Amino acid sequence: MQSVQLEIPKSMQNKISEVQELLASRPKLAELFANCYPNTYLTTLKPQPDGTTFVITGDIPAMWLRDSAAQVHPYLSLASHDQEILEMLTGVIRRQVRFILHDPYANAYNETANGAGHQSDLTDMTPFIWERKYEVDSLCYPIWLAYWLWKETGSANHLDAEFWQAAEAIIALWTTEQYHAERSPYKFDRLNPWAPYDTLSHEGHGAPVAYTGMTWSGFRPSDDACTYGYLIPSNMFAAVVLDYVAEMAAVLLPAAVTLIADAKRLGGEIRDGIDKYGKVEHPEFGTIYAYETDGMNNYVLMDDPNIPSLLSAPYLGYCEADDPVYLNTRSFILSKSNPYYYSGKVAKGIGSPHTPDGYVWHLALSMQGLTALDEAETESIIATMERTDADTGFMHEGFHCDDPAQFSRPWFAWSNSLFSELVMKFIGKK
């Protein structure tokens, strides 16, 4: 599927010119921003006849709930004074909501009921679904985008009856998945997976878990299977967006007392679960957040560049950037104690089991810069990204820490968008 070739709106052109002027002394960085900031708008959007907006990831012709929200997120600041951008973002959210109402367990969808994607997977597929890997974060992102569009513009056009129906469905699903083994209808098994983490263990149900108050996830934001079903960063994100649901409903739908109460209850149970089961005592770094747990004293200690990540907790609003446990965790994941932290001749940063050993991800570098308290650290990250685009003018998925010319996904719009956010933070223009 090819996207419709749109022209850059005036508000976006003005933002690019403004940033380029402020970066006049750094022409390479200015060029990267001018390429990356409009990349989602120019190459991945496809307006639909019903007024919604379909968004591809770049090199994959399907719409991920996660990626689509993150890709358009840098345009929120334009929507307050650009009706075209406001309508586009409203269309993205409405398309996401309709997909959620079609099947909230899916992570990626087709533009039409064309049967594309992983139709042979052993799960409840439909022709509209590209992939049905259940990920908690897939349901967080549309709420996150909807909330911030409302806060940025005051518009509630996207917060219609279907949105509230989807919010209720999400809360119901997350409540069910607090009791995954006992109540969940979900299972996933992929025939001939390309790697063990491309499918769920235990006949498609995932590894056993005990009740913790957190909600279960089959897969990580990387689309890799969880080792243990309580994915801490995704539960952090869920707790944040449940607060958003309660806040929006209290203002816009005050009669929905059950929805408000359910959002507050579930958010509180998830936070309590993270506090009780999601932390470990590390002999070198002190109290840190685990990446995953099963509630039975088994933990995965690592971080992944896909977001939500442990690194992104302040960015998502779960904690402050100077929170002591977060800082301990940050020290751990930005060290060789994290099994996916790589350091080479050209770059150092967080990689992923999703890509080869030694590959640092631009997403993780951008997030490190966005959450850094030290301006020198942010400056160092910016410099790293300037020299690791492999002279393409764009960000990528992963690249080898010794040789940026070895990289994956040359057209990865999410990475370009997050880098644009980092540049705007760097120059103080949010």
> Using a CB cutoff of 8 Å and minimum separation of 24, what contacts does 118-121 make?
118/190, 120/191, 121/188, 121/189, 121/190, 121/191
Q: Does pLDDT of 154 surpass 90?
A: yes
Q: Does pLDDT of 3 surpass 50?
A: no
Question: 71: phi > 0 → left, psi -120 to 50 → alpha, else beta; which?
Answer: alpha
Question: 410: phi > 0 → left, psi -120 to 50 → alpha, else beta; which?
Answer: alpha
pLDDT for the residue numbered 209: 98
Give the model confidence (pLDDT) of 8-55 as tens digits. 999 999 999 999 999 999 999 999 999 999 999 999 999 999 999 999
Question: How many angstroms separate the CA atoms of 378 and 425, rounded?
Answer: 10
Question: How many angstroms separate the CA atoms of 422 and 424, rounded?
Answer: 5
pLDDT (average), residues 78-107 = 98
221 touches 306 (CB < 8 A): yes
218 touches 133 (CB < 8 A): yes
Torsions phi, psi for 279 (to 5 deg): -115, 150
Q: What percent of the chain has pLDDT over 70?
A: 98
pTM strictly above 0.85: yes
- Residues whose CB falls within 8 Å of the CB of residue 329, separated by 6 or more in sequence, listed in order: 285, 288, 289, 310, 313
Domain coordinates of the chain in residue numbers?
Answer: 10-426
Question: How many angstroms separate the CA atoms of 138 and 101, rounded?
Answer: 13
Residue 248, both tokens: 């929006």
Residue 387, both tokens: 């020299």
Give the model confidence (pLDDT) of 278-304 as tens digits. 999 999 999 999 999 999 999 999 999
Give the model confidence (pLDDT) of 55-73 as tens digits. 999 999 999 999 999 999 9
Asked if the peptide bond before residue 308 counts as cis, ω within 30 degrees of 0, the response is: yes
Residue 161 has a CB neighbour count (10 Å cut-off) of: 9
Torsions phi, psi for 300 (to 5 deg): -110, 120
Q: Does pLDDT of 430 surpass 90?
A: no
pLDDT for the residue numbered 5: 57
pLDDT for the residue numbered 6: 72
Q: Does pLDDT of 1 surpass 80?
A: no
Residue 136, both tokens: 């908690």
Q: Does pLDDT of 250 surpass 60?
A: yes
The fold adopted by the segment(s) 10-426 is: Glycosyltransferase (1.50.10)
pLDDT (average), residues 100-124 = 98
Q: Does pLDDT of 277 surpass 70?
A: yes
Question: How many angstroms separate the CA atoms of 195 and 204, rounded?
Answer: 15
Give the model confidence (pLDDT) of 356-368 as tens digits. 999 999 999 999 9
Q: Does pLDDT of 224 surpass 50?
A: yes
pLDDT for the residue numbered 44: 97
Nearest to 291 by CA among 313, 317, 269, 271: 313
Question: How many angstroms separate the CA atoms of 71 and 428, rounded?
Answer: 20
Lowest mean pLDDT, pick from 58-62, 83-87, 137-141: 58-62
Question: How many angstroms separate the CA atoms of 99 and 82, rounded?
Answer: 26
Residue 414 has a CB neighbour count (10 Å cut-off) of: 28
Question: How many angstroms separate the CA atoms of 13 and 24, rounded?
Answer: 16
Give the model confidence (pLDDT) of 184-221 as tens digits. 999 999 999 988 999 999 999 999 999 999 999 999 99
